[in-house]
Chain A
């Protein structure tokens, strides 16, 4: 641990980039607080969710954060669980990031779930074992315990044996929790476009991609794209891993779309056809989230470190749209197919756009994550120990 003081907490090198990040972080934190207060005053009415579209931006942001957490945990496990030397140096920082993004996700979802305290009580007293949400929530709780102990043995009371044991526990519980989050959507028999095996697998794949993007961003910001020699082999290997993962993702997505459209199965084909025509899919998911980073890796032959930091920024924007579209596209097909009154138009695809409060809380969660990461960097020594190197 570092020598920590309040004065030290508010002391940082004054550069334009640091100041910009500080202002953005304070802005996002303020937005989160304002959104939370407004929600406590008015309840769910301040969200644009409806009977036909009951989940919105906050669920998407929760998924975004826990995907980030699982991704960081999975990528860091390459080093301290599977023993690949170059990746051992990222362990502390990645696990700190995993804890922080998970906590940020919990902060956001706590303002979406109507009765979070009741949830804590009845999740234990009357567990719904057939519910993917129950398994997801419980497993994420276990995962948080594992990675917290893992971090403790990595950064506070250094013990590599116990760090590895808790690392394996974190890896397995993270995989289980995250695939269950996919199953939350995959189990919906009422939504043929989501129902099936795709999402549980896709969630793990996209989590690993998110982990790669975040590591490029974290190290890119820390070293201002001027990396120590010890770090470069890891970042180049990360390039190749990311390229392979993106290739698999593009392949998966392609076949998911083809199989959904093939045969024009009612509900499923129409939903997917509508989804792939939306700008959030074409420009967000495909262009920013997949193609820009993928082609940079291809063109550089898997050796682009500096461009990948910028591509990771577009990648994370794309990942956000993947989460947003995941929630929105699952819900766009109307369940009631008839009109409810004489002069009403026949039901069509359901529209949704998040309210200001949803945006304040959802994006404000990013402010929580950045602020907590800043504090973690100040409190703990997240750099690799010499013995690791």
Chain B
């Protein structure tokens, strides 16, 4: 069984936000400032005028980190948040009671309330909309013009993501919390 993860060559990100649009379109995410599964964070340029380091301004695409040790899954009182067979952290809308404990527990601000189902929603690597149909890419990956994102099976040594992670250095976000994220930011 595959174990999905994503590598992000974030230095290539041009902040076009095509991934945000593709995610909303693919998964029917509603409009609204609070309603998003993925986003591009902007790290501001460092320094004071005229000594501003242009190179220090970077873009940081982010979303649910699909932690192997997910705090949101541990705190869910009804097992509405669960790991599917591919290690993807998902929400069962039938069981979600909207206590929003998972939103509090997530260190990555990756969850929000979906007004369509009135339950908590988050990135699920397009499990319903693409992977279930046999596709092997996510909407955000497929649309990215600079190929920031590489999605694939971490347990397959020949997959593109495994190859990338084997010869590129990477970091993971808030790794010190012991969450074991499956999003890898390539350096």
Contact = CB atoms under 8 A, between A and B. Distances in A.
A276 interface: no
Interface in B101-120: 101, 103-109, 111-113, 118-119
B95 to A, nearest CB: 5
Contacts of B167: none
Which of under 10, 10 to 19, 20 to 34, or 35 or more describes the interface residues of B? 35 or more
Contact of B99 (A51, A113, A191, A339): A113
Given A113-B98, A122-B80, A130-B74, A190 B40 contact: no
B31 interface: no
Contact residues of A: prevailing secondary structure: loop
B42 A131 contact: no
A119 B77 contact: yes
A233 interface: no
Given A119-B99, A339-B41, A340-B41, A131 B109 contact: no
B155 interface: no
A200 to B, nearest CB: 15
A54 B96 CA distance: 15
B40 A335 contact: no
A119 B97 contact: yes
B74 A118 contact: no
B53 interface: no
B41 A128 contact: no
16 contacts: A54-B100, A54-B104, A55-B100, A114-B100, A114-B113, A114-B118, A115-B97, A115-B119, A184-B101, A189-B178, A190-B105, A330-B104, A336-B108, A338-B43, A339-B41, A340-B39
Interface of B: 15, 34, 39-44, 60, 62, 71, 74-80, 94-101, 103-109, 111-113, 118-119, 177-179
Interface of A: 43-44, 49-52, 54-55, 113-116, 118-119, 122-123, 126-128, 130-134, 137, 184, 187-191, 330-331, 334-342, 344, 346
